[in-house]
Amino acid sequence: DTAVSQTPKYLVTQMGNDKSIKCEQNLGHDTMYWYKQDSKKFLKIMFSYNNKELIINETVPNRFSPKSPDKAHLNLHINSLELGDSAVYFCASSPGTSNEQFFGPGTRLTVL
């Protein structure tokens, strides 16, 4: 059974489009995250949710909006996609903010 799953795995789209990435965890964790990994493999946290409430919102363009319909899901919606948004986006979850994080398989977003 997949602990943290993301869909889609690959996403190729045109500049200006709006797209969503879905994340689900079946670990019963309270906290979920979105990270962006650029071409140099640098991992940058974007958002963190604890029990459906936003607790971290790093300096991210407001074109990115997280949505947590319940504790097990944290989706990422991106408006007006730009070339610089091309990256791998990882979802993660943890039983608490100080604990080990479990990562999803990643979504490779390519904006043309």
Minimum Å gap between C-beta 9 and another protein is 11
Strands 43-50 and 31-37: antiparallel
Give the β-pairing of 19-25 and 73-78. Answer: antiparallel
* Single residue of 23, 25, 29, 33 touching another protein by CB under 8 A: 33
Q: Which is nearer to another protein, 42 or 63 (CB)?
A: 42
Whether the link from the prior residue into 66 is cis, omega within 30° of 0, is no
Q: Does 93 bind another protein (CB under 8 A)?
A: no
Binding test (CB under 8 A) with another protein, winner from 1, 53, 70, 100: 100
- Window 43 to 72, contacts with another protein (CB under 8 A): 43, 45, 48, 55-56
